A and B are shown apart, each in its own frame.
Chain A
């Protein structure tokens, strides 16, 4: 059974940092690209970042470029999102998602999310 479990969210002041983790199990982690998607309160889903299976390629939405870094440890089956210089508009529930088996960028499994609140 595929499982994705996020952790690391919390309350942080503007300008602060957080590191989110996503522990994966039930599939060959290194084979699949992984993605971070967020949902701000009262808003829709927003694609944040993606990383290739081998970690060689990373992609970011414009609003987080230069502030967020996605990485992965395939030996630990874990995905990470390092978030620096956090802003109020980064407040959201952050989901990790597994890219589909056919290699396309839709998401067949999602975690339950971890909440990030940026506030003074």
Chain B
């Protein structure tokens, strides 16, 4: 099973700043089968990025994903008020089990 470790646990930033969230895998994530989701309180998770770097439909271009192998990054170039939420990474290599990271909470400073 691939274990995903996200850092930091909590990130405190102000609107307009740049956010960099990390997701590290315990073994290589082949074919860059890595996705990112955003979840706000009381809402379902929302797919942001798949294939490590491809934005999902309707996702603003201030969100970008990068990385390969065991190290992946979600970057939000200029934070908008609606971006403050919890972010999860997920690997989907091969057969289950599918695993998620524990999440990074992005809060307003």
The residues of A with any CB-CB pair to B shorter than 8 Å are 35, 37, 43-47, 50, 59-62, 95, 97, 100, 104-108, 110-113
Contact = CB atoms under 8 A, between A and B. Distances in A.
Contacts of B39: 45
Nearest to B49: A106
A110 B44 contact: yes
A113 B43 CA distance: 9
B50 A47 contact: no
Q: Nearest 10 pairs between A and B by C-beta?
A: A110-B44, A106-B35, A105-B92, A47-B98, A59-B96, A45-B100, A44-B102, A44-B103, A106-B50, A106-B92
Contact of B88 (A44, A59, A60, A105): A44
B47 A45 contact: no
Contact of A47 (B43, B57, B96): B96
Nearest to B36: A106
Contacts of A44: 88, 100-103
B44 A111 contact: yes
Interface string B32-58: 010101010001111100100000110
A110 B97 CA distance: 19
A100 B50 contact: yes
Interface string B6-46: 00000000000000000000000000010101010001111
B77 interface: no
Nearest to A47: B98
A37 B44 CA distance: 11
Nearest to B35: A106
B73 interface: no
Contacts of B92: 104-106
Contacts of A46: 100
Contacts of B96: 47, 50, 59-61, 105
